[in-house]
Amino acid sequence: MMPGPGGGAGPLVMLQALLGPEVVAAVRSDEVERYLVDHRRLYHGRALAIARPRSTEQVSKLLAFCNAQRIGVVPQGGNTSYCGGATPDASGTQLLLSLERMDRIRQLDADDCAMVAEAGCVLAKLQDAAREADRLLPLSLGSEGSCQLGGNLSTNAGGTNVLRYGMARDLVLGLEVVLADGRVLDTLSTLRKDNTGYDVKSLFLGAEGTLGVITAAALRLFPREASLATAFVAVPDIDAAVALLARLRASSGDRLSSFELIPRAALDLLSAHLPDARDPLAAPSPWYVLCEAASARADEDLTAMLAQALEEALAAGQVTDAAVARGARDRESLWSLRERIPEAQRREGLSLKHDVSLPVSHVARFVAEAEAWLRQAAPEGRLVAYGHLGDGNLHFNVSARSATEAEALAARTDAIRRHVHDLVRAHGGSFSAEHGIGALKVDELVRYAPPVELELMRAIKRTFDPQGIMNPGKVLRR
């Protein structure tokens, strides 16, 4: 794939002849970190070149060429993957395809409650555009200021509003996808009802760029949230948190949009590493919940409703203390605690991450069993289990108790992963809730996916990408 010894034009030269050096270029040394190193710094790749197309037509030409030449293509959005899903391998033979220049909102229709946007749009920009049209795009996650729509859809991202609005997949009405051979699949309709055979587009959602490149999507919007109520709540244990979830869903008339579980260990990390992070409550508690209810009606006093429900929960022993946000600034500072947990963990050093999901009714038992095992089998590790309890997704992360214990903990990475994932399966859960498979969890997929499903996935991969050029080595090994 590199220029041959005989001096024939190499693929970079040919790609530049096809699309111009403005679209295809060598990765400059000052761009290496941005494009070739993943967010967690687990993967350091090399690339034949970087392509930054501006149109679907250019993506189509790139893929047709790469398919004919059997050049691996690694699509990339905001490069925020937790699983190395968007980093090329170390061979230097793969083309990095950045969608960042395809960042137009093609259409936004408030009456249709829909928008059509290109893959390189940063998620926060789409949220803002929807809000300006008095609509809500509910997909919301910590990296929303830098992650891009194409990556969100390719990984079927989750985040903090899944409880009420579902995953990224649930927000998609249609897609535009460039297939491995350069053909364009256009299902960019904003129809709610369209039962016309197999739902082919859904295969690209969660495929992590291994079947084709999503270049644009038609997204479902909702009425804009006009009143919000947010509270930071101390709970004695996870059972109490689960009981509180049911209580708040009922008392809010199912308007609860977020229900995040936070352990004391996370608050300790926040105050150790981010000095402006303030504990909102006077006395420490083993567990906390950050919850939010939202309504499209401006005249609803959701805060009073939430405060009343929390009073009742206090009387029932499900809650020990609570801080209810009294305005936008309060709300922001409560959310910033939750959103900066990954950053605090990163600053602390080694963190063994497990992105698992369980039936909500099993979370407390799972955590008790896993924690008891950890205490005994990995005493150097401190559990920092937090996440989206409302939908059963836990980030079951383990930090080293001290810098000197990091090495011993790192040596247990595989044993901890195996135990945690086996226990998750025993509880009817999934080892991959919202971060995807990427390069990191390919072997886990082989281990835990039902064999028939794996066979079907491989057959789909062969059908969509017979030359194996699309994001090679991610999700499935050939």
Query: Toward ligand MLT, which CB reaches closer, 89 or 355?
Result: 355
Answer yes or no whether residue 354 interacts with ligand MLT by CB under 6 A: no
Query: Toward ligand MLT, which CB reaches closer, 302 or 341?
Result: 341
The residues pairing with 105 across neighbouring beta strands, listed in sequence order, are: 117
Site string for ligand MLT, 121-150 (x = CB under 6 A): ---------------------x--------
Answer yes or no whether residue 77 interacts with ligand MLT by CB under 6 A: no
Query: Toward ligand MLT, which CB reaches closer, 391 or 465?
Result: 391
Using CA atoms, how far residue 416 sits from 274, 347, 373, 398, 425, in Å, is: 28, 21, 9, 9, 14
Its sign, for the CA torsion 280, 282, 286, 288, is negative
Q: Among 52, 164, 353, 461, which residue sits at the site for ligand MLT (rule: CB under 6 A)?
A: 353
Query: Toward ligand MLT, which CB reaches closer, 263 or 387?
Result: 387
Q: How many residues at the interface with ligand MLT, by CB under 6 A?
A: 7
Query: Toward ligand MLT, which CB reaches closer, 146 or 189?
Result: 146
Q: How many residues does the chain have?
A: 478
358-417 binders of ligand MLT (CB under 6 A): 387, 395
The set of residues, in sequence order, having a beta carbon less than 8 Å from that of 128 and lying 6+ positions away, is none
CB of 187 to ligand MLT, least distance (A): 29
Query: Toward ligand MLT, which CB reaches closer, 161 or 215?
Result: 161
202-221 binders of ligand MLT (CB under 6 A): none
Answer yes or no whether residue 342 interacts with ligand MLT by CB under 6 A: yes
Closest CA to 288 of 337, 227, 213, 236: 236
Query: Toward ligand MLT, which CB reaches closer, 83 or 175?
Result: 83
Query: Toward ligand MLT, which CB reaches closer, 67 or 79?
Result: 79
CB of 458 to ligand MLT, least distance (A): 28
* Chain positions contacting ligand MLT, by CB under 6 A: 142, 341-342, 353, 355, 387, 395
